[in-house]
Every structure is written in C-alpha cells, then in structure tokens.
Amino acid sequence: MAVADRLHSAAIHLLRRLRREDATSGIGSARLSALSVLVFGGPVSLGRLAAAEQVRPPTMSRIVAGLERAGLAARAGDPRDGRQVVLQATRAGARVLHRGRRRRIAALAARLRPLAPRQLGTLAEAAELIERVLRRREPSRHRGAVAHTGR
C-alpha cells in the first residue's frame, strides 16, 4: 500500500533527524525511551521493561547498565524473588528525561512553525490516526498478554 510506504519513510526520516538532538543531550534514544517508561510508569522489573520496549532482555540489560552508569536509574533486588531486578529512575534521571524530551520536541516544533494552521491540523489528525490504528490488536493474532498501549 502506497500510503503505508510513504508514512514509513516519513517516520524514519523524522526520527533520524531528531536523533541529532539526542546526541547533544548526551543520552541515546533507547536509553531515553526506557527511562521514560521508568519515570512515567514507576518501578518495574527488567524483563517487563524489555517487553514494554519490545527488545530482548540482554539488550535491556545493557541499556539499563548505561543508565545506571550515568546515575539516571538504579537497580534493586526484589525481596520476594531473588532472580528479579527492580529498576527505578533516579531524580537526576527524571530531570534528564524531561530536558531531553523538551529538546526533541522543540527541534521538531521549530520546523513545523512555517506551516499553515490547516497543515498543522493535518499532522495532528494523522498522529491521532496512527496512534489509533496501532492500538488495535495485532491482526491475526491471539488475544494474549500483549497490552503495551504505549505511553
């Protein structure tokens, strides 16, 4: 479908551009995204965080290691289950998250500024449509433990 294709390309290029803001904020996109789950969702185990971010546990293990090294998140053992690790954002983590997010949004907003109100409306409507279709259940899949409605 041509629309799916163009939308796909546009999303790739959009996020690729915003990556540059990440570089100046000193935190990569995977860390920023995981951190946002911790800040807005509260403490969670590593496995659940990996599932929420749709990555494998080893990947999340390394992302968390980076966050910990930077003092943005902390690990704690679960007293009831010694295998699990409970992750939580630190105060500095919350601060950095909000700052990085603002920076990305500001960069995008600057580019949208020359658009006409009608065009902005089109973008807003498109964003709404995208979120809506993504919220639907996976086509031709079981109604299992998917959840992850996004943030």
Partner DNA sequence: CAGAATAGTTAGCATGGCTAACGATAATCC
Partner DNA sequence: GGATTATCGTTAGCCATGCTAACTATTCTG
Enumerate binding residues for a second copy (CB under 8 A): 1-20, 29, 33, 36, 53-55, 101, 104-115, 119-120, 122-131, 133-134, 136, 139-140, 150-151
How is residue 79 written in tokens? 């007293």
Residue 138 binds DNA, judged by CB under 7 A: no
The distance of closest approach from Cβ of residue 96 to a second copy in the complex, given in angstroms and rounded to an integer, is 15
The distance of closest approach from Cβ of residue 82 to DNA in the complex, given in angstroms and rounded to an integer, is 3
- Only one of the segments 51-59, 107-115, 121-129, 131-139 lies at the binding site for DNA (rule: CB under 7 A); that segment is 51-59
CA distances to 71, 101, 147 from 87, rounded to whole Å, are: 12, 21, 20
Nearer to DNA, 23 or 123 (CB): 23
Residue 82 binds DNA, judged by CB under 7 A: yes
Give, for 66, the enclosing helix (H) or strand (E).
Answer: helix 57-69
Identify what 57 binds: DNA, a second copy, none; CB under 5 to 8 Å per kind.
DNA
Residues whose CB is less than 8 angstroms from the CB of residue 74 and which lie 6 or more positions away in sequence, other chains included: 68, 87, 88, 90
The distance of closest approach from Cβ of residue 146 to DNA in the complex, given in angstroms and rounded to an integer, is 7
Nearer to DNA, 82 or 114 (CB): 82
Contacts for 20-27: CB closer than 8 Å, 24+ residues apart: 20/107, 21/100, 21/103, 21/104, 21/107, 22/100, 22/104, 24/103, 25/96, 25/99, 25/100, 25/103, 27/70, 27/72, 27/96, 27/100
Residue 25 binds DNA, judged by CB under 7 A: no
Distance CA 15, CA 45 (A): 28
Q: Which residues of this chain interact with DNA, rule CB under 7 A?
A: 16, 19-20, 23, 27-32, 45-48, 50, 53-66, 75, 80-85, 149
